[in-house]
Amino acid sequence: MSSDAEALWERLAGGPVLARRLSSNGRNSRVYRLELPGGGLLAGKRYPQNPADPRDRLGAELAGLTLCRRAGLRVPEPVAFSREEGALLMEFVRGEPVGDPGESGVDEAVAFLAALRALSAQLPGQAEVALECGRDLSPGPLSGGQSPGHRVFLAPASEACFTGQALAANLEVRLQRLEAARGEEPEYAALTELVSALRARFARALRESPAGFGPTWETPLPEAQRTLSPSDFGFHNALRLSGGGLCFLDLEYFGRDDPAKTLCDFVLHPGMALPDHLAGRFLAGAGRALLEAGGAGRSVAAFPFYALKWCAIVLNEFVAADRARRDFAGRDTRRETLRRQLALATRILEDLDERHAWFGSRLA
């Protein structure tokens, strides 16, 4: 770790720390285990800062942590942050990977989302969140040590799409970026073939899905039907606590979103791989908690778009800008990564029709 990074964490912690990079690091941000002289632990998180990516990951995470804790949900407590340096100091949560969540874990995930849905109804659409904890210790002109009076803007979740057309446009941009990707590795030839297949399935979704969206194909989903969402939600971002229950992590994409995305992503996320009986239990519970009348049809119509989007997401390693962001967090051997991501995207595409039918049967 560089001396600058050491100094950052010591300033935020208010004293000396021994900083160690976590091996279970996320793919976009750097997460550190910070050991204090007395044996205590804190967690530090650095967010990538890229002028081409305007998302306020730190602000989103602060808003999410504050609102979740206000609702009595188990998430880490923020301690201090530096907006200028894109860094957050928070509680270190001791726990184990969830593994098999069982029915109790699924029910806890549903309860977490239901609490956020109830909380979203209490907040105006364009809200600012007053932070109840955490101090801004940015150096220079952004400093000030704000705590309870400091506010962050509650924005839409990362890449939230409130019409079917917006969702299709988002996928179109991703496919165009993959079509423009260039590299010397032989895996790029396989990428070209796979993206052609994604294009064909996208064209089919554009023909078949608009009717299922109803008015929300063109007209934005009403504010009252949107929900607060961690966006990247699931057991891959949770720890099982020794005293029982789960703690959910990684809220840097938090904000308002279409509940249909929450349902689709929970089933599709490559890091989950839930057996059907647990995924079905989740859909039944979360569908009741999150969806308005008619929301099931919109969710089923959206499923192919989100499946194709996941194909594009796992292929981001082929895109230079996304590869640079991954490099910020750390990466595997280049060609091994490309081959692995090609295989994963191919599997999602091959399974799409079968999973789509299954998804619809569980929300019927």
List the chain pLDDT tens, one digit each, 364 residues.
567 778 899 999 999 998 777 644 455 788 999 999 988 999 999 998 877 788 889 999 999 999 999 999 999 999 999 988 999 999 999 999 999 999 999 999 999 999 999 999 888 766 677 766 566 777 754 444 444 446 777 889 999 999 999 999 999 999 999 999 999 899 999 999 999 999 999 999 999 999 999 999 999 999 999 999 999 999 999 999 999 999 999 999 999 999 999 999 999 999 888 999 999 999 999 999 999 988 999 999 999 999 999 999 999 999 975 555 455 445 458 889 999 999 999 999 999 999 999 999 999 7
Amino acid at 296: A
Among 154, 173, 194, give the residue marking a domain's end: 154
Any domain includes 118: no
**Whether residues 46 and 140 fall in one domain:** yes
Any domain includes 113: no
Any domain includes 121: no
**Whether residues 233 and 331 fall in one domain:** yes
Any domain includes 326: yes
CATH of the domain at 202: 3.90.1200
Any domain includes 21: yes
**Whether residues 24 and 58 fall in one domain:** yes
**Whether residues 98 and 237 fall in one domain:** no
**Whether residues 258 and 359 fall in one domain:** yes
Residue 62 is part of which domain span? 3-102+127-154
CATH of the domain at 55: 3.30.200.20
Q: How much is the pLDDT for 24?
A: 46
Q: How much is the pLDDT for 55?
A: 86
Q: How much is the pLDDT for 27?
A: 56
Whether 158 contacts 60, CB under 8 Å: yes
Going through 47-166 in order, the beta strands assigned E by DSSP cover 78-82, 87-91, 96-97, 128-130, 151-153
**Whether residues 326 and 270 fall in one domain:** yes
Cα(11)–Cα(145) distance, integer angstroms:
12
Q: How far is CA 57 from CA 7, 138, 198, in A?
A: 22, 16, 29
Any domain includes 109: no
**Whether residues 351 and 207 fall in one domain:** yes
**Whether residues 139 and 188 fall in one domain:** no
Amino acid at 337: T
Q: How far is CA 152 from CA 59, 162, 178, 243, in A?
A: 6, 22, 34, 32
Q: How much is the pLDDT for 323?
A: 59
**Whether residues 263 and 346 fall in one domain:** yes
**Whether residues 195 and 310 fall in one domain:** yes
**Whether residues 140 and 197 fall in one domain:** no
Per the structure, how many domains does the chain have?
2
Q: Taking Cα atoms as reference points, which of 144, 127, 154, 137 lies closest to residue 62?
A: 154
- Angle (CA) 56-58-63 rounded to 5° is 95
Q: How much is the pLDDT for 5?
A: 79
Any domain includes 63: yes
**Whether residues 295 and 355 fall in one domain:** yes
Q: Taking Cα atoms as reference points, which of 210, 197, 150, 125 lies closest to residue 353?
A: 197
